């Protein structure tokens, strides 16, 4: 499930006026990019941005088995404090899978979560774990690979015939075989104009066509996109994602 389909500042963007027609479409309200993998034995989050709490409440998701962090930009990690509700619920740390560099960022950003406190003080307890090429989690077989987000790496994931590529500007040669035979692809297309660290609409469309999934949903969208207007102009098999979009795994 796409928890959030929006770019880093969310849509609508604070401080900007929008026409009533734009605001009339609930699909133009995009929270920060995140995904929930709803497995047969629990749920796994991909990213934990500032909207995580409201996203889980909105979708009625009450269990989280673990979290993959694709990279540590603010729009992907700033909801991690709210993971403490799950620490309280399960009386254990939440497993968080990311690269060693991003683990270091998380230790710095949420340094209080790694200190000792007297009993009764609750902070998020995060068990920082490495990303393996293959994870079995919540009853799901999750394959991982690293993509390029401008100058930094970003984690991509595949579950069965579904793949999620957020915050991506280039797909390294060794990753292409991991993207063959996809039924559904969710792919970054941040805006209409080219961007140094993201696919924009044109590069996302050509990449989607090259990957050749049966269905592609574009995500991490800014307010350049008016949902129904843009969708009407996209090639068949390619649509904009929206908050709450559900795809069968
Ligand atoms: Zn982002």
Ligand 1 centroid vs 28 CA: distance in angstroms?
17
Ligand 1 centroid vs 194 CA: distance in angstroms?
15
Ligand 1 centroid vs 47 CA: distance in angstroms?
9
Model confidence at 104, pLDDT cuts 50, 70, 90, reads: very high
Q: How many CA atoms lie within 13 A of 186 on its CB side?
A: 32
DSSP state of 13: P
Ligand 1 centroid vs 19 CA: distance in angstroms?
25
Tell me which residue range forms the domain holding 62: 2-13+22-240
Domain-located, residue 90: yes
Per the prediction, the chain carries an average pLDDT of 98
Cα separation of 71 and 76, whole Å? 7
Domain-located, residue 211: yes
Q: What domain count does the chain have? A: 1
Ligand 1 centroid vs 10 CA: distance in angstroms?
10
- Read off the tokens for 56: 């889980």
Ligand 1 centroid vs 6 CA: distance in angstroms?
8
Domain-located, residue 128: yes
**pLDDT (0 to 100) of residue 28:** 98
Beta bridge partners of 39: 42
Domain-located, residue 62: yes
**pLDDT (0 to 100) of residue 181:** 98
pLDDT tens string 132-184? 999 999 999 999 999 999 999 999 999 999 999 999 999 999 999 999 999 99
Element (H or E) spanning 135, and its range? strand 134-137
CATH number at residue 194: 3.60.15.10
Domain-located, residue 248: no
Domain-located, residue 108: yes
Ligand 1 centroid vs 248 CA: distance in angstroms?
24
Q: How many CA atoms lie within 13 A of 106 on its CB side?
A: 31
- Region 104-126: mean pLDDT is 96
Domain-located, residue 249: no
pLDDT tens string 25-67? 999 999 999 999 999 999 999 999 999 999 999 999 999 999 9
**pLDDT (0 to 100) of residue 172:** 98
- Read off the tokens for 131: 């990303």
pLDDT tens string 199-213? 999 999 999 999 999
Ligand 1 centroid vs 156 CA: distance in angstroms?
13
Domain-located, residue 246: no
């Amino acid at each position: 499930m796409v928890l959030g389909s929006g770019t880093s500042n969310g849509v609508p963007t604070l401080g900007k006026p929008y026409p009533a027609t734009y605001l009339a479409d609930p699909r133009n309200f995009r929270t920060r990019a995140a995904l929930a993998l709803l497995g047969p034995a629990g749920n796994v989050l991909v990213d934990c941005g500032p909207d995580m709490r409201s996203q889980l409440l909105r979708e009625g998701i009450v269990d989280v088995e673990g979290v993959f962090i694709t990279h540590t930009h603010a729009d992907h990690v700033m909801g991690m404090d709210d993971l403490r509700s799950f620490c309280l619920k399960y009386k254990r740390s939440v497993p968080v899978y990311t690269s060693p560099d991003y683990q270091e960022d998380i230790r710095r950003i949420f340094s209080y979560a790694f200190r000792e406190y007297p009993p009764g003080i609750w902070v998020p307890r995060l068990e920082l774990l490495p990303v393996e090429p293959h994870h079995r989690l919540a009853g799901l077989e999750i394959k991982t690979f690293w993509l390029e987000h401008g100058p930094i790496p970003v984690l991509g994931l595949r579950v069965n015939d579904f793949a999620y590529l957020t915050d991506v500007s280039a797909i390294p040669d060794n990753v292409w075989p991991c993207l063959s035979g996809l039924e559904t692809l969710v792919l970054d297309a941040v805006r209409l104009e080219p961007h140094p660290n993201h696919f924009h609409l044109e590069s996302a469309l050509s990449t989607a066509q090259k990957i050749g999934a049966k269905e592609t949903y574009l995500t991490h969208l800014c307010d350049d996109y008016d949902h129904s207007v843009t969708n009407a102009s996209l090639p068949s098999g390619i649509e904009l994602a929206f908050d709450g979009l559900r795809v069968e795994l």
